[in-house]
Amino acid sequence: MTVSEPTPTDTTAHLPTISDLRFEHHRETLGIGETAPRLSWITGTAALGWRQAAYEIERSGQGGEGGETTGRVASAESVLVPWPFAPLTSRERAMVRVRVWGEDGSASEWSEPATAEVGLLTLEDWTARFVAPIRDEDLSKPQPAPLLRREFDVKAGMVRARLYVTAQGVYEAGLNGERVGDHVLAPGWTSYDHRLRYQTFDVTGLLREGRNAIGATLGDGWFRGKLGFGGGRRNLYGTQLALLAQLEIGYADGTTERVVTDESWRSSTGPILGSDIYDGETYDARLEREGWSSPGYDDGEWSGVKAVERDFDTLVAPLGPPVRRIQTVAPVSIFPSPSGKTLVDFGQNLVGWVRLTVRGEAGQTVTLRHAEVLEHGELGTRPLRHAAATDRYTLRGGGEETWEPRFTFHGFRYAEVEGWPGELKPEDLVAVVLHSDMERTGTFECSDPLLNQLHQNVVWGMRGNFLDLPTDCPQRDERLGWTGDIQVFAPTASFLYDVSGFLSSWLADLAAEQTADGVVPFVVPNTQGEMALTPMTAWGDAAVIVPWVLYQRFGDTGILERQFGSMKGWLDHLGRLTGERRLWDKGFQFGDWLDPSAPPERPGAAKTQPGVVATAYFARSAELVGKVAGVLGRAEDEAKYLSLAAEVRNAFQREYVTPNGRVISDATTAYALALQFGLLPTEEQRRHAGERLAALARDSRYRVSTGFVGTPLICDALCSVGAYDAAYRLLTERECPSWLYPVTMGATTIWERWDSMLPDGSINPGEMTSFNHYALGAVADWMHRTVAGLAPAEPGYRRLDIRPVPGGGLTHARARHRTPYGWAESGWRIEDEQFTLEVTVPANTTARVSLPGGGETHEVGSGPHRWSVPLPAQAPRPPLTLDSTMNELVDDPEAYRLFMRLVRDHAPDVADHMATGPGGAGDRPIRRGLFMMPRVDEFLPRLEAALADLRG
């Protein structure tokens, strides 16, 4: 073995430097809601093995003068360090900087200062009131979007201006004809009855001395637009759109003036004739009111507004980032469909809308219809169900016009364009990508282009469904915060992006929507009423598992503290529900949803019994709540829930496990749950269960045989019993159902069903089919941790676990992740029978590095590290003949792919049946195992010759 570490020649490079000083998890710190925001910073240094010994935090006084300091604090902590000064108050601005000392005696300079400003924290801070236009509306359908405005004067000597604003509905605000901020669909979607976010904007640069005007456009959004299945229901949260705006103007003499929403505002309507999340937006540019949010505008068509009552206790500052326009995607082609329609392909299934630039006569209407896929060359709209996903723009005429929607979004790769004046050119359209503006923190790449595309599909699927809250899908009449989806995907999400604030906000909604009896709705926010309050295993368990994942990945005990009551409520409900038996085997369950063997019309008909899934998750969540109690120092709760977990495990073992380790249902998900959740008490049972799991994987011919519950666990479960080859075979299989089948079909996001599109290009006949559904992409977490080998060994990556396990024919793999301490990296390459591993460990952390093949384990400190070890080439596989067994054929990926090509060519109708695997025929010679093959006497010689050619 060789180890090499670069030695810097510049001694100044050893000195630590501080970067990325943050308040809580905020990237944007104007209008935060914390009075004692915790602080985090990242230390950079070329010194190997650097560890922090002490820090000092300084807070500047108002105006940057005076201030206070902690003095030198002996501590290695640099992540979410408690606020060391007096609590902040509404509108208070805090500027801090930090410096650190290392255990090696090194010292940093002061960091660049970081500033945060608190929003409005109390009822007394608000003098504005919600106001709504006075007009008659037909609440059974979308209405023209209201415009609200008011003029006001600004005196000389203005030095500071803040706009605090939110709405019932969605809004876009303007000052003096300029848009305020760049948020989209603000204030976003929360559990409005409990939590309505407001936004804070620095608008100092938009005001001027003298006459000014403020205005806002409102849309239905999630507040009163359609939500839910079957076309959805309108007016779910209320019937009245309303604006709340408080503009505070500070002057040099210390005085402050406020311009607030009240009955003095005026209202009208404009060019948006209707907007809906599901159905799209209709815009008539001939109705635009040029300059309506500028001073001096008056066309005589404005009416009054009225006050709307609302509980101001529901107002909260944002915890996570807003939705923004993130990027644009140009068309890759424009072409006619078989029926003569004009179709545009943007080359990527994405979420957002189309921006168009057009010239034409006034009154000409351009219609854009959106869909994710084509079916037989036409726009595939059936999966949208009742969502129209259609935007309409009517031209004002007289020159070039550029337009994009404001208050809708679509999931699409293709757009059908109707009514375009003249020739449609690629430069006339661009797709605008929308999602919450999270920081990208993780990447992965390897030597297999298909796996790289799979990972890209996971990223794009997450982007499309992390639009203000974690949704199931972004295109049809649903787009809801399904708890089960994020429960399984949270580890992957936490690697790819900084979701700490995003998911903390959603978890606050979950706790708010939870019943007094502890039931967690299966969608949050709850749009389905009583129906969603059926206790649902793996879905309701998001209350426990998502906070635990955030703690593990971000080192945040605060999220555990905030959610602990919610966690306990869920577990206490399950305790009452199951009684002394501790078996959760009654009532409806989603179970291992979308098991590939389930028929399209019955997605819950899984091989694994619902009681097995439910009781396994009950045990897992009880154990986690016990661990959380231990982290929080709650000894009594720790003992209670760990004891409950033991009771549930015992009940599971008595009811579902045989003495030799068979698990009832005898299905891959059942074994994955039992192995991963520690439900098998003896090593002998684990060994037998592992052998059975590997056998089932082989019997499925390494095609996926798990649904929503089993899929995130199956590769880890196989690896836990040493079946790494089987895990890699599952990952790299291309036949349906598999992760790579959609990739071979041209997918650019993760599908809801393994076969959302059938091999002939037709859409799955099931009523529930989405082409952008991130849950099954949870395998990416295993790719990060096992294929590339980068995982946390302690919460927040304070200690790393670097343990790559090469396989699947890969010759290299690499993962990078921005941990709370800085960038970590694990990358390996195999060349000339040599395995080389390169690792980067952030300052103030350590890593445990395990080389493949059971080699040495190394404990290393921060810095770059490199190891090279011999890795003998695997012995060539023995040649396969017709006397080889069916199992041997299945275990040879190259030979098996060849075999399947021959089967499809010889008897296409038989090929699909081959997915069931060899079963009892696995140990039989190939010539005898294929006795049911049509015209087998013709097929066997072709197969024999092909196998001989394969090994050459």
Which residues are catalytic, by number? 478, 752
Give residue 520's identity as a one-letter amino acid code.
V
Q: Which residues contact 115 (CB under 8 A, 6 or more apart)?
A: 29, 93, 94, 95, 96
At residue 44, the 3 state secondary structure works out as strand
Question: Which H helix or E strand runs over 894?
Answer: helix 893-906
Phi, psi of 229, deg, nearest 5: -75, 170
End-to-end CA distance of the chain: 35
Give residue 136's identity as a one-letter amino acid code.
D
Q: How far is CA 384 from the centre of its chain?
A: 21
Residue with tokens 């001939």: 286
Question: What's the rounded Cα separation, in Å, for the pair 364 and 908?
Answer: 51
Q: Which residues contact 203 (CB under 8 A, 6 or more apart)?
A: 161, 162, 163, 175, 180, 247
C-alpha distance from residue 108 to each of 98, 723, 879 (Å):
9, 48, 63
State the sign of the Cα–Cα–Cα–Cα dihedral 883, 886, 887, 893. Answer: positive
CA atoms within a 13 Å half-sphere pointing along the CA-CB vector of 410: 32
Contact 372, 345 (CB under 8 A): no
Three-state SS sequence of 820-842: CCEEEEEEEEEECCEEEEEEEEC
Question: What's the rounded Cα separation, in Å, for the pair 345 and 352?
Answer: 14
DSSP state of 312: G
Contact 226, 234 (CB under 8 A): yes
Question: What's the rounded Cα separation, in Å, for the pair 855 and 868?
Answer: 12
CA atoms within a 13 Å half-sphere pointing along the CA-CB vector of 802: 37
Contact 827, 810 (CB under 8 A): no
Phi, psi of 176, deg, nearest 5: 50, 40
At residue 500, the 3 state secondary structure works out as helix
Q: Which of 132, 111, 346 is nearest to 241 (CA)?
A: 132
In terms of DSSP bridges, do strands 812-819 and 822-831 run parallel, antiparallel, or are they unpaired? Answer: antiparallel
Q: How many CB atoms lie within 10 A of CB 224?
A: 24
The strand ranges marked E within 138-265 are: 146-154, 158-168, 170-175, 178-179, 196-197, 199-202, 210-219, 242-251, 256-260
Question: Which H helix or E strand runs over 213?
Answer: strand 210-219
Contacts of range 640-645, beta carbons closer than 8 Å, 24 or more positions apart? 641/568, 641/571, 644/571, 644/575, 644/582, 645/619, 645/620
Q: Which of 90, 66, 77, 64 is nearest to 38 (CA)?
A: 77
Question: What's the rounded Cα separation, in Å, for the pair 408 and 276?
Answer: 6
Question: What's the rounded Cα separation, in Å, for the pair 600 and 383?
Answer: 13
Q: Which of 263, 256, 262, 250 is nearest to 127 (CA)?
A: 262
Question: What's the rounded Cα separation, in Å, for the pair 229 and 174?
Answer: 35
**Token pair for 805:** 């396990």
Q: Which residues contact 846 (CB under 8 A, 6 or more apart)?
A: 799, 800, 859, 860, 861, 862
Question: What's the rounded Cα separation, in Å, for the pair 410 and 391?
Answer: 10
Q: Which of 10, 4, 14, 5 is nearest to 47 (CA)?
A: 14
Farthest-apart Cα atoms in the chain, separation = 99
